[in-house]
Amino acid sequence: MIRLAIQSKGRLNEESLRLLKDSGIDVDDTKRKFIGKASDFPLELLYLRDDDIPGVVADGAADLGIVGFNEVSETGADVKVIRRLGFGRCRLSLAVPKIVDYNGLDWFQGRSIATSYPSILNRFLSEKGISAEIREIKGSVEIAPAAGIADAIFDIVSSGGTLVSNGLKEVESVLESEAVLVCGNDVTEDKQEIINSVLFRFDAVRESRGKKYILMNIPSDRVDEAMLLLPSMRSPTVMPLALDGWSSIHSVVDDAELWRTVESLKRIGAEGILILNLDKVID
């Protein structure tokens, strides 16, 4: 049995549960308590505040955690990042009132900066030789300049909408973040085996995301051209059809390339094109 800590509510909760579900690790989320047990996998879920997850994993009270890389970096907890999970993407940035004529980091010299991420900010400022006053506040950091609490802020930015609506502009991006899977530093062999199985499943789910399975019929003399348009995992599968002079091609295409590829395939005579969702991809 292993224990995985995820955010109890908030931005990472839903995606964390979806990843588990898609990995066949079903937890009855309707009866959510502090701890939930997966029905068909040796795993317990621990629902926590994101700030607490790195420390709990470092202490060994949980074996794995899903948390924003920003929290791992801020807490400095002794954990290993074993996978980037591709959701909860954001960045930690410095922002100043939009009327400021900003001309480089020196602007921050001697100024005050409000943030909930004092450690990351402190490391960044020391590295850059800037001496500024860090004012730690827990929430609503974006209102600090207008409220006269600080000259600038250091906060999470995703779309940038919050900054704009508070009359601020992003001037330096300091840390890129996304949800990551972390584990502790001494894991027993038994637990490692279960962790490997979690990783195997997570990888298969992630591999399938953003991809489609595509199949079509095509005149056999156009197969070589079609192969050039279809960069598959190894190579596309080509099978002769019962109808003389025609073949069937199966392949996997990235969502980003899908429509361009389909249009090019139609131009070279592809017919009966089917596009299917991919569930899992196991290399």
The contact set with ligand PRT (CB under 6 A) reads 7, 10-12, 49-51, 68, 70-71, 88, 90, 142, 155-162, 177
Residue number, 112 or 162, with CB nearest to ligand PRT = 162
> Binds 222, which of Zn ion, ligand PRT, none (CB < 5 to 8 A, cut-off by type)?
none
Distances (CA, A) of 272 to 78, 220, 243, 246, 249: 54, 14, 14, 12, 11
Piece of 42-50, 172-180, 233-241, 256-264 that binds Zn ion (CB under 5 A):
42-50
Structure tokens at 217: 């019929």
Distance in Å, CB of 87 to ligand PRT, minimum? 9
Q: Does the footprint of Zn ion cover residue 74 (CB under 5 A)?
A: no
Residue number, 103 or 165, with CB nearest to ligand PRT = 165
Structure tokens at 8: 């109890």
Nearest-10 Cα torsion for 24, 25, 29, 34: -170
Which residues touch 107 (CB under 8 Å, ≥6 apart)?
96, 100, 171
Structure tokens at 41: 């996998």
Do the beta carbons of residue 186 and residue 249 sit within 8 Å? no
Contacting Zn ion (CB under 5 A), which of 22, 29, 44, 51?
51
Distance in Å, CB of 58 to ligand PRT, minimum? 17
Distance in Å, CB of 235 to ligand PRT, minimum? 38
Half-sphere exposure of 254 (CA within 13 A, CB side): 5
Residue number, 39 or 140, with CB nearest to ligand PRT = 140
